[in-house]
Amino acid sequence: GAVVSQHPSRVICKSGTSVKIECRSLDFQATTMFWYRQFPKQSLMLMATSNEGSKATYEQGVEKDKFLINHASLTLSTLTVTSAHPEDSSFYICSARTGRENSPLHFGNGTRLTVT
Amino acid sequence: GQNIDQPTEMTATEGAIVQINCTYQTSGFNGLFWYQQHAGEAPTFLSYNVLDGLEEKGRFSSFLSRSKGYSYLLLKELQMKDSASYLCATLDSNYQLIWGAGTKLIIKP
């Protein structure tokens, strides 16, 4: 089946630093990838839709200058949390579809970010 | 507005059957997904329904009634490893996924 690889799985950083999270589609090409954030005991919240070769589409309330998304190839999207603060501590998950718009999302394993 | 409701938490016994309900109100409808999410892990796909009726896949079945805006996930022969959160999500008219908050299922021996 389709595999989405996300790295790192866990990261602890100091407040004010930047963290880059990578999301790769291993056995398929993903023109679109989705970045989610999930706080404890809460639902998945879509942050942005990453489009290969063009600018990402951000959801309302998500700061595009803080959460930089780059989708330079059909198999790689990156999310950079810039100048991280403790309130950015969360579980970040990327996902992609292998087919049509009603095909299921395949998720990476997620990145647990802790900002101290 | 768009809304998905599912119970916050359910408890069931190993070997038993449990039904997790999901009701939805969305702008348009292009199908409903069920995902399983173990604690600290990413969601994994369980089922997709777009037509009314029951879809059976091993121990798991999913039902949809579009007229009632209602779905359920049925888990049979429960195993301890089924302890997880179960997320209901619908595709709206723009093929955007609308997620429920998830139902935490606790399985007791």
Q: What is the pLDDT of residues B73-84, one digit of tens each?
A: 999 999 999 999
Cβ count near B90 (within 10 Å): 26
Angle, vertex CA A54, rays to CA A50 and CA A58, nearest 5: 45
CB contact under 8 A, B95 and A102: yes
Closest CA to A77 of A62, A92, A61: A92
Q: Look at residue B109 and tell me whether its pLDDT is greater than 90.
A: yes
Residue A31's pLDDT is 84
Of A42, A101, A107, the CB nearest to B43: A107
Q: Which of A44-53, B7-16, B23-32 has the highest mean pLDDT?
A: B7-16
Q: How far apart are CA A97 and CA A105, in angstroms?
A: 5
Please name the helix (run of DSSP H) or strand (run of DSSP E) that holds residue A25, with its range, or none.
strand A19-25
Q: Look at residue B106 and tell me whether its pLDDT is greater than 90.
A: yes
Residue A56's pLDDT is 92
CB contact under 8 A, A107 and B102: no
Residue A97's pLDDT is 86
CB contact under 8 A, B43 and A44: yes
Q: Are B92 and B14 in contact (CB under 8 A)?
A: no
pLDDT 10s digits, A57-113: 999 999 999 999 999 888 999 999 999 999 999 999 999 987 788 888 899 999 999
Q: Look at residue A2 and tell me whether its pLDDT is greater than 80.
A: no
Q: How far apart are CA A29 and CA A92, in angstroms?
A: 21
- A9, A21, A44: best mutation site toward chain B, by most B Cβ within 10 Å? A44
Mean pLDDT of chain A: 92
Q: Is B30 exposed, middle or buried (0-12, 13-18, 19+ CB in 10 A)?
A: middle
